[in-house]
A and B are shown apart, each in its own frame.
Chain A
């Protein structure tokens, strides 16, 4: 009789095989997949480049600013870069479907650019990185952030020092 119970249970549960590729695949929310880069939040500290065990990340200075490139074909999805990134500029998505024909091998790149800008105070050319404001007390308002961001590193330091802190 036991096999009848199992038979009935299996009929009710249906097949255990995943529908993929004939249907959608089950993807856990926190699966470690493709790297995503958001140049707006990047501080330009290049810690990610240093901690990447597979040398997948490369920054390069160009006339337009600093470029970020992450080659998915050598990234091992370890998550080191996201873990050590002081802002949330680099982020691991749960996208796993990266298979491609060999002709596209070198197109599997996440590319980003931190552009150059002219400092509004001294006019020097510097990268438009996200300012480091973790320790700023009290936290910066949105206007202060925009003003700070428009400056070069030296003028940023000056700006933060001369900031009026309400008692």
Chain B
């Protein structure tokens, strides 16, 4: 009987992170890569690891304003991520459109299409801000599990 709570406790230690680029300028992606790969910021201390497949992901970081061209691909990819998932919008692009706001080519804000849980504004946000956002996402993820 006590097995499932125990398992949940162990599982909450290590959410896997997946990254979707919804037409970003690459600024935010570089910061996310920095957050994950450089020992200076080292997001693995929070138990997180980047994974290459949406099917393994728990937390998904989305950057970019959702351009018209990538919309279908992004939505398809998002569908593939198993529940419970937590979505983090990285950068002002997905949150409001940022510098591309009101352009004919973007569909921002992204929360019209995908439920967003945490926002990390910045253009791009610094790695510490992304870590703070991921920490918030982990808390939400623990409640959902």
Residues of A within 8 A of B (CB): 15-18, 20-22, 25, 31, 53-55, 71-78, 96-102, 105, 108
A20-B128, A74-B101, A76-B92 in contact; A98/B120 too (CB < 8 A)? yes
- Which one of B2-10, B76-84, B132-140 is at the interface? B132-140
Question: Closest A-chain residue to B111, C-beta based?
Answer: A102
Residues of B within 8 A of A (CB): 39-42, 45-46, 89, 92, 95-99, 101-102, 111, 115-123, 125-126, 128-129, 131-133, 135-136, 140
A17-B42, A74-B97, A76-B98 in contact; A101/B117 too (CB < 8 A)? yes
User: In terms of DSSP, what is the predominant structure of the interface of chain A?
Assistant: loop
> Which residue of the partner chain, among A18, A22, A98, contacts B121 with CB atoms under 8 Å?
A98
A76-B98, A96-B125 in contact; A21/B131 too (CB < 8 A)? yes
Contact status A96-B129, CB under 8 Å: yes
Contact status A76-B46, CB under 8 Å: no
B-chain residues with CB within 8 Å of residue A16 when the two chains form the complex: 39-40
Taking the closest CB of chain B, its distance from the CB of A137, in whole angstroms, is: 41
Contact status A18-B119, CB under 8 Å: no
B-chain residues with CB within 8 Å of residue A96 when the two chains form the complex: 122, 125-126, 128-129
Question: Closest B-chain residue to A27, C-beta based?
Answer: B128
Contact status A99-B129, CB under 8 Å: yes
Taking the closest CB of chain B, its distance from the CB of A34, in whole angstroms, is: 9
> Which residue of the partner chain, among A22, A77, A101, contacts B122 with CB atoms under 8 Å?
A77
B-chain residues with CB within 8 Å of residue A97 when the two chains form the complex: 128-129, 132
